[in-house]
A and B are shown apart, each in its own frame.
Chain A
Amino acid sequence: MSDLASAAVERVYREHRTRMLAALVRALGDFELAEDALQEACSQALRTWPRSQVPDDPFAWLLTVARNHALDRLRHVQMARAKLPAPPPEPVTMTEKQLVDIGDERLSLIFTCCHPALNEEARLALTLQAVAGFTAAQIARAFLVAEPALAQRLVRAKRKIRDAGITFEVPADHLLPERLSGVLTVIYLIFTRGYTTADAELRHEAVRLGKLVAALMPDEPEAHGLVALMLLHNSRSAARLTTEGDVVLLEDQDRALWNADEIAEGMTLLDRALRFGTPGPYVLHAVIAALHVQDRVDWTRIAALYAELLAVAPTPVIELNHAVAVAMVDGPEAGLELIDGITGLNDYHLLHSARADLLRRLNRCDEAIAAYRLAHELAVSPADRRFLAGRLRSLETS
């Protein structure tokens, strides 16, 4: 019985944690209070369910008990303050029925965690903790920060939400496009972090978050586009590195290692997103990722898509990708000319390695060696550094 009961607590918690937390933050207007209350309710469930029995609706039970814990806590605070003449403002409270009737507030939770008044690190950490259920220790590991610093960052963000009047709501229509794009950025940053550090769990979580947003906002093509993009990138992750952890270029990858299910799912989502008309940046990126997994990579279309991206959301990194695609179509000289026109990427190792590769193809060996050296100096990941060192060696000995 005891094992069954604790398994039941664990199951409800795992399946519904985000929903319960969202409902409690909505009802209480305070992240920390909501988290503590939910924790208390779970401890109480672990203590009492084995002795009595698992309630018919464990979700409602946990929410109600959590709410009561929170109200108790607020009452204590009020009593302590009662000695003072002016009463503090009434806490936001709801009846048990209202609390359990609250619909799915996960979307409000996501928008609150990604509010632009929070700095980017805080948005990432808070989304991973509150929405994805990561512990502070897990987030600290993923982002290479000390755990106390990360915990401090989370506390600060939660208090700012409470004290600065950041509402717990899906933003009004006129703010929605910008705010949704902010949410998608946070999810994509989590994914790219998982990509550069080869952290499969982090990538998986980003995909899950993306799917949640896409499911809750089915009419937003960019949300579907982002999920498609992440799935298509992820599908090649087993082929991107050798078992020794060395980089394998696209043309040398073993296609048998590509994840066919992820490719199929990504393609389906991409089709859906494309039915909405003018594609946004994530949909365009996803189309490019889809072209990379075709039997023959269509660089002409990829170059055209990057040009389209440059028109809607220009960044130096997209300029670089555009230049590389143009080099595949029109030859290394054309690509080199575009790369040399890019400003603001001097510290980016991929700019120098792309340049080096084009110079090598033009037989300008000395310049290629210099560019590979620079790329090697700037690269951070051991796999990238080994790859570049290898290229450098083969040029120097030829």
Chain B
Amino acid sequence: MHYMFLIYNCEDRPKPGDPRFEEILTRVNAFADECRRRGVFVGGDPLKPVSTATTVRVKAGKAVLTDGPFAETHEHLGGYYLLNCRDLDEALELAEMVPQAHFGATIEVRPVDHIPGLNHGVA
């Protein structure tokens, strides 16, 4: 089953040049390697900060844009992984290993749904 890991609250990540950058990069790459070794890795990326977000709603057939994220909360979505795990236990085990979780991020684990007829789903 495919699981989406939504990584919240990891906005303030070190930039290249910061001494912590190399350390975190190594750990994040090692996590992806572990996922590949298990054959579960489908994808994963960081997202640019919420200040870059534009939210689109369609009202009366017309797009209404909002400068900012969907919800004004303190915990913002900062990145994701998409992993094909054996079951929820494996997904939760990997979620615990996500390096960002060890730097204050919260990981929401969501199974990817299957919709018959959908022509681009991964599940």
Q: What is the interface of chain A, defined by CB distance below 8 A to chain B?
A: 81, 84-89, 115, 117, 163-167, 171-172, 175
Asked if A88 contacts B114 (CB within 8 A), the reply is: yes
On chain A, the residues within 8 Å of B113 by CB distance are 163
Asked if B88 contacts A88 (CB within 8 A), the reply is: no
Asked if A81 contacts B116 (CB within 8 A), the reply is: yes
Residues of B in contact (CB 8 Å), total 16
Asked if B117 contacts A164 (CB within 8 A), the reply is: no
On chain A, the residues within 8 Å of B119 by CB distance are 86
Q: Does B71 contact A (CB under 8 A)?
A: no
CA distance A167 to B3 in the complex (A): 14
Asked if A86 contacts B116 (CB within 8 A), the reply is: yes
Which of B1, B116, B117, B118 contacts A165 (CB under 8 A)? Answer: B1
Q: Does B42 contact A (CB under 8 A)?
A: no
What are the 6 closest A-B residue pairs judged by CB atoms, nearest first? A167-B87, A165-B1, A84-B117, A84-B116, A165-B88, A165-B87
Asked if A167 contacts B89 (CB within 8 A), the reply is: yes
Q: What is the interface of chain B, defined by CB distance below 8 A to chain A?
A: 1, 3, 85-89, 91-92, 111, 113-114, 116-119
On chain B, the residues within 8 Å of A171 by CB distance are 89
Report A119 CB to chain B, min CB distance, Å: 15
CA distance A86 to B120 in the complex (A): 11
Which of B85, B92, B111, B118 contacts A163 (CB under 8 A)? Answer: B111
Asked if A117 contacts B92 (CB within 8 A), the reply is: yes
On chain B, the residues within 8 Å of A175 by CB distance are 89
Report B103 CB to chain A, min CB distance, Å: 23
CA distance A172 to B90 in the complex (A): 10
CA distance A175 to B86 in the complex (A): 15
CA distance A115 to B89 in the complex (A): 9
* B111: nearest chain-A partner, CB-CB: A164
Asked if A85 contacts B87 (CB within 8 A), the reply is: no
CA distance A263 to B43 in the complex (A): 58
